[in-house]
Amino acid sequence: MAGKLNGQRCYLAGPIDHAEDDGIGWRIMMTEWLSERGVMALDPTNKRTSNTIFNEIGAEQKNLGQLRELGRFHELRDAMKPIVLADLRMVEVSDFLIVYLDPSVQMCGTWEELFVGLRQHKPVLVVVKGGKQKLNFWMFGRINPDFVFDSFEDVKKYLQGVDDETIRADSSRWIFFDYNTDPEIYLNFPQT
Closest CA relative to residue 97, chosen from 188, 12, 28: 12
Q: Which CATH architecture has domain 9-187?
A: 3-Layer(aba) Sandwich (3.40)
**Predicted confidence (pLDDT) per residue in 3-13, tens digit:** 999 999 999 99
- Tell if the pTM clears 0.95, that is, is over it: no
For the segment 22-70, what is each residue's pLDDT rounded down to a tens digit?
888 999 999 999 999 999 999 998 877 666 566 666 667 777 778 888 8
Q: How far from 46 is each of 9, 22, 60, 87, 184, CA to CA, in Å?
A: 15, 11, 13, 11, 38
Where are the chain's structural domains? 9-187
Segment 102-113 shows an average pLDDT of 91
Gap between the Cα atoms of 110 and 56, Å rounded: 14
